[in-house]
A = this chain, B = another copy of it.
């Protein structure tokens, strides 16, 4: 694609969300301007603060409007942990997860890369460069389940994980396709099929079947518990991981930690069929404890903007952003810089 403008929905959200998104927009705008492309952002007020002010999470009209945009840049949402005015999880489920589900973001793409000098907590991290393709629209995240006899000694609470051939196959095929374009061409399925037999076997059978379509791609399997061990003892072994919504949530936070922290972890919630706009967001949350102080690291938001450009087909601009980030990150020596100073430095390095 190479339109002369990008019609971008921007959801800055709460806490540090607006601060990091401002820097991502700064970098994004400059990166596409160099190619004669104009960035046309439309801001949407959504999140915990907005809920407190209006009682709205994601009104239908806003969702309909978002669907008309080319892509969505999302900051972070969520109230301070101690804030009891907001029912727990409501913003996460009725805004963030509702967007992922309504816009059919079935590929939750989370790259993990250790940049030269960035501090990993591991003594010998080695070379880390893998992507996690996390399923984004089913599994234990569907919100099915219930509570019987709540608050009594006879309470029963259920959670139902829903997994479909349709949902698993499309994300597994995406993982193999991405692997086929990488150097090592290797897919690792992470699940727990020895316990979660029904879902696990669907995933395993699907991987075996889809692998036939990609003779150049090798694949193996790890139980999720074993995968967390390798994540800290031998993260270099991973190339492309494909996994379900919940396991993906867990191992991508761990992966972010071993590659220098969630200040750097970018993600895309991607609808590969392009029936609705995809959404790009840093993996980190709204970090209310440091909000408004200009302390937040905007790098994850900026790298998410690069994933956004990749998705829209502006791959040159995406590579230039990544290059500028790598150059900046490799120079870091622990000296504190403000959010906007980091954004300025990366923008200058484009």
Contact = CB atoms under 8 A, between A and B. Distances in A.
A159 B229 contact: no
A194 B228 contact: no
A324 interface: no
Interface in A248-270: 249-254, 256-258, 261-262
A236 B24 CA distance: 35
A242 to B, nearest CB: 16
Interface string A135-163: 00000110101110111111111111111
Contacts of A166: 153-154
A201 interface: yes
A89 interface: yes
A140 B229 CA distance: 21
Quick one: copies of this chain in the complex? 2
Contacts of A204: 88
A202 B155 contact: yes
Contact of A97 (B162, B195, B261): B195
Interface stretch (A13-21, A119-127, A334-342): A119-127
A224 interface: yes
Interface string A208-244: 0000000000000000111011011100000000000
A113 to B, nearest CB: 17
A196 B159 contact: yes
B195 A140 contact: yes
B256 A229 contact: yes
Contacts of A198: 145-147, 157-159
A194 B89 contact: yes
Contacts of A199: 145, 157-159
A218 to B, nearest CB: 15
Contacts of A185: none
Given A140-B196, A145-B198, A229-B253, 14 more contacts: A88-B204, A121-B123, A143-B197, A145-B197, A157-B198, A158-B162, A159-B161, A160-B161, A224-B250, A225-B249, A228-B228, A228-B250, A229-B256, A233-B261
